[in-house]
Structure 1
């Protein structure tokens, strides 16, 4: 039940909807999503803009962190870009929880093509608030 709520929350997020990101698999400590690259996602050099890859990874990582029952917010992240991506390609992102303490956690997200070739990796550190998802955060 909780996972369906989080999946719905992230699939109805304004930024995710604007870019076309879909969370399609979610369970505690794990999330998967996808994005088909459109012309609007392309940078001046003809490949996907790094900010689009970052947002995809951040969005799926955020969904993963929020499966733990508390509001989880990004504190810090690093990203490595490995391959260029063209318009028309569908990218997948998979987030896995690596560590969860009382308040701080760490997630690894890989972004890859349909053939499983990795195009980017993100490592994120997140903070788990003491309130649950029923409480509004300003």
Structure 2
């Protein structure tokens, strides 16, 4: 099976079993091995007391992008270290794109940079995530 087809199948299955990503309203736009591009629309209940997007929502969106990109080889991986920088405000109704790019694919760790942008191309946040690879399959039947 083509590695990118398998990567897409793993990411789609992971999304189908991820209640948080479903609550966020995430949809998958593109997946390749070590890469993913996701989209979500910000809702009123995702805003904070300043009527801008709660940072935890943006962090969670980026964290989901990390999960879908670092696990899509079907090697069960978990976040080991993450950080986020908020660059621009966003608000309810904005459509946000998360693009996760693999910087390093090691045997036991991986490093990913995730950009969150609006449809106008403005960067909303930059997220860096290191994952730990367990060496076990995420889905036994997809080896």
TM-score by length of 2: 0.90
- How much is the aligned-residue C-alpha RMSD, in angstroms? 1.1
Q: Which deviations, in whole Å up to 9, do the C-alpha atoms of 1:13-40 show, x marking residues without a partner?
A: 1111111111221010110001100001
Tell me the CA shift for residue 95 of structure 1.
0.1
After superposition, the C-alpha distances for 1:51-72 in whole angstroms (9 at most, x for unaligned) are 0000010101110001233011
The total of aligned residue pairs comes to 135
Question: Which stretches in structure 2 are left out of the alignment for 5+ residues?
Answer: none
Q: Specify which of 6, 24, 32 is matched with residue 10 of structure 2.
A: 6
Normalised TM-score (structure 1) = 0.93
SS in 2 for 1:54: helix
Other-structure match for 1:71: 76
- CA distance in structure 1 between the aligned counterparts of 2:105 and 2:137, rounded to whole angstroms: 16
Cα shift at 1:86: 0.8
Find the residue that maps to 1:127 and give its secondary structure.
strand
What SS does the aligned partner of 1:8 have?
Answer: helix
After TM superposition, what 4+ stretches of structure 1 lie above 4 angstroms from structure 2? none
Alpha-carbon separation, structure 1, partners of 2:139 and 2:65: 20
1:23, 1:60 within 8 Å by CA — same for their partners in 2?
Answer: no
User: 2: distance between equivalents of 1:88 and 1:112?
Assistant: 14
User: Per the alignment, in what secondary structure is the counterpart of residue 137 of structure 2?
Assistant: coil
